[in-house]
Structure 1
């Protein structure tokens, strides 16, 4: 398999971490959506990452769709999400909040990097959405003092949240103070200490 995308993206990283946990071998092509768009386009016409090329040549796009296939490959006993029920819905909801706030963080970067005149209304909206999602996750995480959301078992929600916390600290250190969310910071640190996270990391450098 070939995983396309740089690990400074929280979306690519959540896939890479899951593949490490599952023990799946893959070739990593750290292509940038801007600098390497011509390389990505033959695999994904949207030129977005992550993009996963299967051994048979089939291409999967979007992190949720990719992880769904990886879960199937790993099997129900090893999958980082319950097969059904409340636990599955909670993992999906928390993952959606974490990846959704990452979408807004990326929007903040693009708005400032690509426009000579930025929209303060759009910037304020994105910042409010990021803060609100983090606040909601902080409240939930404060009520679950276990190592991970579901006790001792790592899930996609844990991975997504840890990737989001790291990305927030690297991408927008002057806008958001991580000290505002101590439970999320502690969660991120716990996950970052795991071998799967250590094997899949790249510092995000905000554009000048």
Structure 2
């Protein structure tokens, strides 16, 4: 398999962490959607990452579909999403919050890079959305005793949230402050300490 995209993307990184946890071998091509856009376009006409190219040549072009495939390959006992029922819905909800934070944080980076003057109301709205989700998740995490969100075993929700928090902290200093959301900060630090996370770290590179 070939994973396309740089590890400074929270979406590429969440796929890479899952691959590490599953012990699945892959080749990494750290192509940028800016400097290497035509190479990315060969596999994804949307010119977005991550892309996972399977051994047979099929290209999966979204982190959700990629992780769904990897869970299927790993099998129900090892899958990082529960198979069905309330546990699956809860995990999907947490993942949606994590990827939502990441999406807003990435949008703010693009806005800063591409627009000399950005709409203050829109920036405030994005930051407000991030803060509201962080407040909500901080209250939830403070009541959870396990090392991970749903107990002893890490899942895709933990991964998505940790990747989003790291990206947000690096891309937008002051938006995610550990002192303000200490339980989320501790949760992210616990994830980041795992070898699967430390193996796929890249300093943030923002577009000019």
Same-fold call, TM > 0.5? yes
Q: CA deviation at 1:101?
A: 1.0
Between the aligned partners of 2:94 and 2:134, the Cα distance in structure 1 is: 11
Between the aligned partners of 1:21 and 1:130, the Cα distance in structure 2 is: 28
Q: Does the residue aligned with 1:145 lie in a helix, a strand or coil?
A: coil
Identify the residue that residue 112 of structure 2 maps to in structure 1. Answer: 112
In structure 2, the CA distance between the partners of 1:189 and 1:56, relative to structure 1 (3 Å rule), is: same
Identify the residue that residue 183 of structure 1 maps to in structure 2. Answer: 183
Identify the residue that residue 28 of structure 1 maps to in structure 2. Answer: 28
Pairing 1:172–2:172 present: yes
- Output the aligned Cα RMSD: 1.1
Identify the residue that residue 56 of structure 2 maps to in structure 1. Answer: 56
Identify the residue that residue 72 of structure 1 maps to in structure 2. Answer: 72
Q: CA deviation at 1:206?
A: 4.2
Pairing 1:45–2:45 present: yes
Checking the alignment, whether the CA contact within 8 Å between 1:169 and 1:178 is kept in structure 2 is no
In structure 2, the CA distance between the partners of 1:79 and 1:112, relative to structure 1 (3 Å rule), is: same
The number of aligned residues is 208
Between the aligned partners of 1:92 and 1:172, the Cα distance in structure 2 is: 26
After superposing on structure 2, the runs of 4+ consecutive aligned residues of structure 1 that deviate more than 2 Å are 174-178, 205-208
Checking the alignment, whether the CA contact within 8 Å between 1:142 and 1:183 is kept in structure 2 is yes
- Normalised TM-score (structure 1): 0.97
- Normalised TM-score (structure 2): 0.97
Identify the residue that residue 4 of structure 1 maps to in structure 2. Answer: 4
Q: CA deviation at 1:163?
A: 0.7
Identify the residue that residue 198 of structure 1 maps to in structure 2. Answer: 198
Between the aligned partners of 2:86 and 2:26, the Cα distance in structure 1 is: 32
Q: Does the residue aligned with 1:31 lie in a helix, a strand or coil?
A: coil
Between the aligned partners of 1:52 and 1:176, the Cα distance in structure 2 is: 30
Structure 1 unpaired stretches of 5+:
none
The farther-off stretch of 132-141 and 93-102 is 132-141
